[in-house]
Copies of this chain bind each other. A is one copy, B any other.
Amino acid sequence: MFDIDIQSRIPIYEQIYNKVIELIIKGILVENAQLPSVRNLSKELNVNPNTVAKAYQELERSKIIYSLSGRGSFVSEIDREKMKERILEDFDICVRETLQFGLTKDELKNRIDGVSL
C-alpha cells in the first residue's frame, strides 16, 4: 500500500507525501481515516521514523492531514478538486519543460494515448 522506491531520485519523504495524496484522491484514504503511525510505517518501509515524520509534517503543513498529539494522524477535510489542481500544476511544469525542447502540444497529446501504467 505504501510501497516506495529506494532507488528513485525522489526523496523518500516526498514519495510518502505523494503516496498519501494518491490514496486520498483514489478514495482509499477517506476523510478522518487514520494514517499508519510514524513508527509502524517506518518499520513497514524499513525507513527511519524521522523520515516518515517529515513526510507527515509536510502533509500537515499542506493541510492534507492533521496530527493529534498522542492520538495519531488523520486525513483532513478533502477538496478533491483542489488536490487535483495541485497535481495538475506539477504536470504543467513537466509540459512546459517538454515544450521548451521544441515539441508541439499536439505531439504531447498524441503521446499520452500511448502511455500505460
Contact = CB atoms under 8 A, between A and B. Distances in A.
Given A105-B113, A112-B108, A112-B109, A90 B100 contact: no
A63 interface: no
A101 B115 contact: no
B115 A92 contact: yes
Interface in A77-105: 84, 87-88, 90-92, 94-96, 98-103, 105
Number of copies of this chain that the complex holds:
2
B112 A95 contact: yes
Contacts of A96: 115, 117
5 contacts: A87-B98, A91-B94, A92-B114, A94-B95, A109-B109
